[in-house]
Amino acid sequence: MELNSIQPADGAKHYKRRVGRGIGSGLGKTSGRGHKGQKSRSGGFHKVGFEGGQMPLQRRLPKRGFKSLATPYKAEVRLSDLEKLPVAEIDVLALKQAGLVGELARVVRVILSGTISKKVTLTGLIATAGAKAAIEAAGGSVA
């Protein structure tokens, strides 16, 4: 293969459609735009969502929902996840290194999901009432 002999694959390129070049081309006279109306004129287009002056759909429907900007900074950890950790002293840094919470997490909440049997000490974490009771029942503490 030589540089002067390479070609695009068959069907990859096609000629630009030339409109307004006579009746025999199939795209003469109105050039595929039909007769009259806004869309037949040059520059005759409107913004996306415009419905001719009728109240557009995105304004007719009610606003709904809320997306908290604090979401990336909050995280939840299950008791069953704490059970698998090899350390007894658990803080946010230990959870980040284990990959249980994201790098952006600042506030971590321990929830009662699963069971815990080993003694762990939580520092700098929030625990729900049920999770705190389960940790203390296993001999651990929440600071």
Task: Report the alpha-carbon distance of residue 67 to residue 36 in Å, rounded.
Answer: 46
Does 46 have pLDDT greater than 90? no
Give the pLDDT mean for 17-46.
Answer: 92
Task: Report the alpha-carbon distance of residue 79 to residue 132 in Å, rounded.
Answer: 10
Q: State the average pLDDT for the chain.
A: 94
Give me the percent of the chain exceeding a pLDDT of 70.
Answer: 100
Q: Which domains does the chain have, with CATH numbers?
A: 19-61 (no CATH), 71-142 (3.100.10.10)
Residue 43 and residue 33 in contact, taking contact as beta carbons nearer than 8 Å? no
The confidence score (pLDDT) of residue 51 equals 93
Does 133 have pLDDT greater than 90? yes
Task: Report the alpha-carbon distance of residue 143 to residue 139 in Å, rounded.
Answer: 13
Residue 111 CB burial class (10 angstroms; 0-12, 13-18, ≥19): middle
pTM, full prediction: 0.56
pLDDT in tens, 59-78: 999 999 999 999 999 999 99
